[in-house]
């Protein structure tokens, strides 16, 4: 059975997944005219090129999209995650996820 894997990443892992689809959870810093800046779980900023009509309504979102060579993400879909989310705890989970990649990839 084929599966579509979308690894969970923070900013520091983006360069390992250029051209691939990933999941990034972040805090919305700003959004304007089709672009948004998110603070990823490792407290670095990531620029996201949003789909036409996308608008992040919550403070935290998950973006699923393709990683561009410049470290930006082209959004394919997003999910609002509310306003109460612990980025530091999530970052610890991301670190473990990548430490034990054989379990997930």
Tell whether the model's pLDDT for residue 24 goes beyond 50. Answer: yes
Residues 6 or more apart in contact with residue 95 via CB below 8 angstroms: none
- Predicted pLDDT at 100: 84
Give pLDDT, residue 54.
95
User: Of residues 43 and 100, which shows the higher confidence score?
Assistant: 43
| pLDDT confidence of residue 2 | 42
For residue 1, the model assigns a pLDDT of 36
Q: Which pTM was predicted?
A: 0.90
For 30-62, letters b (16+ CB in 10 Å) and e give ebeeeebbbbbbbeeebebebeeebebeeebbb
CA distances from 100 to 42, 83, 105 (A): 18, 29, 9
The pLDDT score that the predictor gives to residue 51 is 96
Q: Using one digit for the tens of pLDDT, what is the confidence trace for 44-86?
A: 999 999 999 999 999 999 999 999 999 999 999 999 999 999 9
């Amino acid at each position: 059975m084929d599966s579509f894997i979308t690894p969970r990443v923070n900013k520091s892992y983006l360069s390992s997944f250029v051209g691939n689809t990933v999941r990034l959870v972040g805090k919305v810093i700003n959004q304007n005219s089709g672009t948004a800046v998110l603070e990823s779980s490792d407290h670095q900023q990531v620029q996201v090129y949003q789909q036409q009509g996308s608008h992040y309504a919550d403070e935290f979102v998950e973006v699923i999209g393709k990683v561009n060579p410049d470290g930006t993400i082209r959004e394919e879909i997003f999910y609002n995650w509310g306003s109460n989310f612990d980025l530091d705890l999530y970052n610890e989970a991301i670190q473990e996820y990548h430490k034990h990649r054989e379990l997930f990839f």
